[in-house]
Amino acid sequence: MRHGVARFVTGFLALPVALYLFYVVWPFVQAAGYSLTDWGGYSNSQRFVGLDNYVRLLSDELIRKAFWHNVFFLVTVPLFTIALALFLAFLLNVGGREDRAGIRGVFGSALYKVIFFFPQVLSLVVIAVMWQQIYRTDSQGLINGLLIKIGLVDADNPIAFTADPEPFLGIPAVLWWLLLIAVWSGAGFYMVLFSAAMQSIPKDIYEAAILDGAGRFDTFFRVTLPLLRDTISVAWVYLGFIALDMYALVFVMTPSQGGPNHASEIFASVIQFNAFQKGQFGYACAIAVALAIFTILLAAVQLRITRRERIEF
Amino acid sequence: MSVTPENLGDLSRRTLLQRAAAAGLLAVPAMGVLSACAGSEPEKSDTGGGAKSKDNPFGVKDGSAVKVVVFNGGLGDQWAKEDKVIFSAKHPNVTVNMSSTQKIKTEEQPKMATQPSDLVMNSGADMMDRSTLINEGAIEPLDDLLTAPAWDSEGTVADSLLPGTVTDGTQNGKFYVVNVAYTVWGNWYNAALFKKEGWQAPTTWEEFFALAPKIKNKGMAPYVHDAVHGYYPRWALMASIWKTAGKQVVVDIDNLKENAWKADGVVKALEPWEKLVKDKLLLPGKLDHTQSQQAFLDGKAAFIQVGTWLKNEMAATIPPGFELTLSDYWHNADDKTPKDVFASSGEGFVVPSKAPNKEAAKEFLRAMLSKAGSAKFAELTKSLASTKGSGDNVQDTALASANALMKNGGSELISVKFQDFYADLDKESQNLSEELMAGRLTAQQFVDKMQAAADKVAKDSSIKKQTRTA
């Protein structure tokens, strides 16, 4: 009988597994294979060059630059997105009416939830095009226009946003402006995720805390945050992946796709340039493989650091 | 095709994304299709064999049919329909099946190996890669078209073409691509406004810098440029280098000759641009191509530099009474070649090697390059055709001024190749051009950084080197 089950299951799974191997795993293997060649991308011929591409990668200035920009996003995107999402979720679920009985969100929280979640239903390209108008660099832009009208910005020297490579806190300004969009568009989703997690925390824990005289601050840091650890750790890993990508925003928003003058270069933009503009697919594959290894390592490390004993409730 | 003005002009971020995706998706299947095509011998055409004569140099057979595919982009497709009328007047018994599309590669590439159209306009965002087509033997050399007598003028077809057109369509010593449009670059201004204010359009930098304060007094910025796509300012910078330092310096730059950027005159050519930025003669803001063009049309800036597609691209928003006029890039008093004009041909037609009726396809090209056909092209698209004299009878300030510029130009056309040769240098020069125009680099720093970038490419053994002779 057990034998029959195994055959039944195998029969069912064979096709999906085959499709998965062919369309998902095989391209990865192929990319790894191409990374050892000097394939140009538009012909059938390629030469095996061993690890040359990887050696070259280590001394590539552009990749070093891209690496640090990716690290910047890797730190800031999860940090700011999770902080903002947690803050919003707390306000919407347990932040209201500190002085009265019952645990609820601030007034109108149902409406806020919809508003905050809204960016999530837009595609990233729509978001980017919309922010292009907001970030327009003359008085017709939403932000510049407003600030010029109230006299905070000089009309002869408007904010250049994504065309500005000047450093702010040591990081090119363009990266901060891109970060703002990434956080804006991501916070809504994680707010909903954290809301769901918060709602599954039993109300009596909060009630007990309030009876003991805990304010909003204490309830958040002593009750909510520890009980959300698992959810936050998942969000952290997931946002890490998003931060390593950032491709669409850089591609659509910045001059010369990674500019001005390489100030917003990231892994993905370097891969795109090497593969499609330079016609060095082999090298681009090597960068992609390096990125994949980096991503997997990162996820492993993050999950290990955040692993703790579960609290059952 | 060397330059496709509509592509550059229409280069929105959305099309870029689509193109990047399409390039990725198509690279692999395209190889299969094209290699299949190269592997087998083209079938013998059964429609040729008509009697050859001066009026019918390719021997088009009566009763045959020819399929023509036109790219329906920024130039529209009405001009091609006029060519059909011209063709049919001479060959009433040849059926012309004309269709227009924006998806050239999507629709034509799969047919290249089996039953392609006879004449394909390979243009737009979805165009087939020219080098691949040639290397795979998928398109026909058209050298016999050049030596054929012109449709309605003296001499051969080659004689009737504007300078550069044959070179632009030639690869590996053979002529493959017939570019029908001609683009001229320079500084645009509103002649009506200049007349009203009593301003004289400058031809030299000295005149421009003398005029600039007067323009500023009217609350206008003297100059605006695309501050997002670096190849826009690069046209102007390279044109200045050519004019000031002479052709050989640009040829040396293209050939990665040692210290080519450090040659006499290069820094001097860029110093007026540095001054233009330092004197705050630019419109504030980092506008992209359509935003800057609109700012110019709205009267916020007196000059903008782009190519002749400007009129078509902005047709919907040009205010009434605006006399769009093209003038040459400004030069210095002691420049080496001050009168050379920046111009080149684009919008290329190709004849697939397996086309069933190549004779009629070539004959159709001959009709297209006729005086009558090119005059219609200029009239309908407000752009010059690559045939000489196409703009002579058109009453349009934009076209007439471009036409005049070509006629009064120097002996050579300004052409720069390094950006087509080397992607690295292309990107670096775009970045640095914008940095110069943003005032973050001086002319000297720009030159030093370009030299460093060129040296890096010259030393990089993974990059295939190319040279230009002329």
All residues at 6 or more sequence positions from B30 whose CB lies less than 8 Å from its CB, including other chains: B109, B129, B132
> Is the ipTM here above 0.90?
no
Q: Which of A44, A158, A257 is closest, CB to CB, to B31? A: A44
pLDDT computed for residue B325 by the predictor:
95
How many angstroms separate the CA of residue A118 from the nearest CA in chain B?
22
Q: What token pair was written down for B246?
A: 């002479």
Q: Which of A155, A163, A283 is closest, CB to CB, to B227? A: A163
A125-134, A203-212, B13-22, B72-81: which range is least confident on average? Answer: B13-22
A273 — contact with chain B (CB < 8 Å)?
yes
- Does the N-terminal peptide bond of residue A260 adopt cis geometry, omega within 30 degrees of 0? yes
Average pLDDT over residues B453-466: 89
Contacts of B432 in chain A (CB under 8 A): 261
Q: What b-and-e string marks burial along B226-236, b requiring 16 or more CB atoms within 10 Å of the CB? A: bbbbbbbbbbb
C-alpha neighbours within 13 Å on the C-beta side of residue B180: 30
For B264-278, how does the pLDDT look when each residue is reduced to its tens digit (9 = 90+)?
Answer: 999 999 999 999 999
**Is it the case that residue B158 has pLDDT exceeding 70?**
yes
pLDDT computed for residue B4 by the predictor:
39
CB contact under 8 A, B434 and A251: no
- Minimal CA–CA distance to A246: which of A20, A78, A35? A78
pLDDT computed for residue A43 by the predictor:
64
A87 — contact with chain B (CB < 8 Å)?
no
How many angstroms separate the CA of residue B297 from the nearest CA in chain A?
15
pLDDT interval class at B31 (50, 70, 90): very low
Q: What b-and-e string marks burial along B48-72, b requiring 16 or more CB atoms within 10 Å of the CB? A: bebeeeeebbbebbeebebbbbbbb
- Minimal CA–CA distance to A261: which of A68, A62, A126, A92? A62
Average pLDDT over residues A252-270: 90
A145 — contact with chain B (CB < 8 Å)?
no
Maximum mean pLDDT: which of B55-64, B74-83, B105-114, B425-434: B425-434
Q: What is the pTM of this model?
A: 0.81
How many angstroms separate the CA of residue B423 from the nearest CA in chain A?
5
CB contact under 8 A, A255 and B229: yes
Cα-trace Rg, chain A: 24
A42 — contact with chain B (CB < 8 Å)?
yes
Quote the mean pLDDT of chain A: 86
Distance CA B267, CA B241 (A): 8
A125 — contact with chain B (CB < 8 Å)?
yes
Q: What b-and-e string marks burial along B348-376, b requiring 16 or more CB atoms within 10 Å of the CB? A: bbbbbbbbbbbbbbbbbbbbbbbbbbbbb
Q: What token pair was written down for A264?
A: 């917003």
Q: Give which of A62, A278, A287 to mutate to test B binding, by max B Cβ within 10 Å.
A: A278
A47 — contact with chain B (CB < 8 Å)?
no
Place of tokens 């069912």: A12
pLDDT computed for residue B212 by the predictor:
95
pLDDT computed for residue A18 by the predictor:
92
Amino acid occupying residue B118: D
Residue B237's H or E segment, with its range, is helix B231-245
CB-based contact A185:A192 (threshold 8 Å): no
Q: What token pair was written down for A310?
A: 């579960």
pLDDT computed for residue A262 by the predictor:
92
